[in-house]
Structure 1
Amino acid sequence: MPYALFCHEARLSKTYPTEADVWKLARQSGLVVDAVSEEEKPAPRPVLDNDYEIRPCRPDPQEDPVENRAEAERDAPLEFQLRS
């Protein structure tokens, strides 16, 4: 099942094949604001800004999650160069 970024019930991103893909894009977009440690878990975990969350969802009929990931990977180096 593909994953996407949500705020409440609104889907904010394209769908991607894995939850890790969405986390990576959220980090690149500056939406990961902190890491929280829980007593039961040995390592800190990332936290999304505001009420954002990553959830499984069905892609739109014309959408291909694998192509979305490939497009994001192609665009990432360009965005990095533009910000320099």
Structure 2
Amino acid sequence: IKEVVFAWSGWNLLEVGAEAVSNAFQIFRRANLKAGEGQYFTPARVISAAVKIMDIQPEDKIIDPACGTGGFLIEAFRDMSAR
């Protein structure tokens, strides 16, 4: 994991995209290990649709206590930045 973090340190993860970060994280965490720990990841298309439906405004506060790969937080930030 240390080598991966070092390799990614020069990337702008907002430009890479939330789905790429999420997919990479899921690859590092093998499926049987995730399921054994009760970890399940929300597909990017569901995250995107949920963020659009929420219509987050600049004065809103965002919290994702089950953060995981941060998909909802990253998508909310990207949505707000685009507007």
TM-score (norm 2): 0.24
Structure with greater strand share of residues: 1
TM-score (norm 1): 0.23
